[in-house]
Amino acid sequence: MSSGLAIRDTAKKAVSLISKHKFARIYAHYDADGIAGGAIVAKALLRAGKDFQISFLKGLNDFEPENDELLIFVDMGSGYSEKISSINSDVIILDHHKPDGEIKPKKTLVHVNPHLFGIDGTYEISASGVAYIFARELGDNKDLASIAILGAIGDKQKLVGLNKEILIEGIEAKCLEVRPGISLPSGKLSKSLSMSLEPYLDFYGKEEELKEFLRKLGIEDKEVDDLSLREMQRLGDAITLRLLKLGAYEGVFEQIIGKRIVVKNLLVKNSSSLVDIINSCGRIGATSTAFSILLGDEKALREGVEIEEKFKREILEELLKRRRDVKEGFCIRYLVMDDAPSTSPIATVFSRYLMPDKPLVVLNIKKDGEVKVSARTTEKLARRLDLAEVMRLSAIRVKGVGGGHRVAAGANIKRENIEEFLKEVDRICCAMLA
């Protein structure tokens, strides 16, 4: 890898710290990128003869560490400087979120984060990519590039910068292949188009409209992976037109149309399908199932496919139901839900495919009165606006916590503070966009 020398040097320090310990306690985020990053670290440690225990968390707000000598945080940690500063253990952070302040460690800290080296962690490398850089320094782990790319896809990143270098290494290691086509999940074409969230095509519950779409295309309803290149091209043109009619953000086209990534050394070859399965498992709390799939467990894969189908249907139903509930602020749109299955995919679909002209904030009120917030915007708006900072500052205003990336961020607040929080989000967004 030609770029990112400084981040690799820091990864070497993490490897040096690992060498002083026989056991590592790993904590990883529960989304596709965090689970992929956790799997990479786990596989690399196994190969290096190190013992470990891994847990997947939604965040570190209520985190209380056990008395372990070495903790490794994957896809989290950088945005919790106070919490990490209080830990009385050696710590490795493998993250790509924007750091929220200086960490003052009680013992040894190795902080591997692209933002610390002038690399864009929003688009150019995900947490699983950072975990891969660490794994490459730990041993001969080029074959783990396939898992790193899944994390980048899961976080809607671009295959540029360090992501591109990881992709090239994966191709050289024969664990990845890039083919012309469309980034669609596997399965019957009609079901794939109807159930897809990335891209979201608004065919769910519209069987006749979908039949007419395929009839006009002149493509029979066969397996997506069996489509010829010419059929893929025709389908790509038709999907592009449909996305334009939906009003989708123009940045989605380059991520979906033109190429598909094949994962050659994992249980599911279609990268879009595998990301969907891992993400769905993570979102409903079946993180051990997702982790086991990436470690090659076929029984876990069968469970994961069932989970994905159910989860996607729930999200697609919510999207149909909630579209009319989205409210207008001055510079934002927002949606308040009660105990919905998940905020993140709903916020992502609305902001990328249906309402890309303003930042979108989705609030999910849990039964205990806690509110999970997911905020999303487009890369175009993120050139003028930093959602991570918006969430951080707005959450502080109501004694909550927030952070993330410029285009995708989140917060945790209390139910009674929703109105004040939304006013503050709108105010800061207006100031940034002015």
Per-position pLDDT tens, the chain of length 434 = 445 789 999 999 999 999 999 999 999 999 999 999 999 999 999 999 999 999 999 989 889 988 899 999 999 999 999 999 999 999 999 999 999 899 999 999 999 999 999 999 999 999 999 999 999 999 999 999 999 999 999 999 999 999 999 999 999 999 999 999 899 999 999 999 999 999 999 999 999 999 999 999 999 999 999 999 999 999 999 999 999 999 999 989 988 888 999 999 999 999 999 999 999 999 999 999 999 999 999 999 999 999 999 999 999 999 999 999 999 999 999 999 998 888 899 999 999 999 999 999 999 999 898 999 999 999 999 999 999 999 999 999 999 999 999 999 999 999 999 999 999 999 999 999 99
Q: Which helix (H) or strand (E) holds 221?
A: none
Question: Does the N-terminal peptide bond of residue 199 adopt cis geometry, omega within 30 degrees of 0?
Answer: yes
Let me know the angle formed at the C-alpha of 369 by 313 and 347, rounded to the nearest 5 degrees: 40
Dig out the tokens for 431 from the structure: 């100031």
Alpha helices in 26-126 (DSSP H): 32-47, 81-85
Would you identify the CATH topology of the domain 5-174?
inorganic pyrophosphatase (n-terminal core) (3.90.1640)
Residue 51's DSSP bridge partners are: 23
Q: Is 326-433 a domain of CATH 3.40.50.300?
A: no
- How far is it between the farthest Cα atoms of the chain? 65
The residue among 252, 276, 272, 251 whose CA lies nearest residue 261 is 272
List the domain boundaries for the chain.
5-174, 180-319, 326-433
Handedness of CA 417, 423, 426, 427 (dihedral sign): negative
Nearest one of 75, 121, 129 to 98, comparing CA atoms = 121
DSSP SS3 for 341:
coil
Q: Does the pTM exceed 0.85?
A: yes
**pLDDT confidence of residue 4:** 79
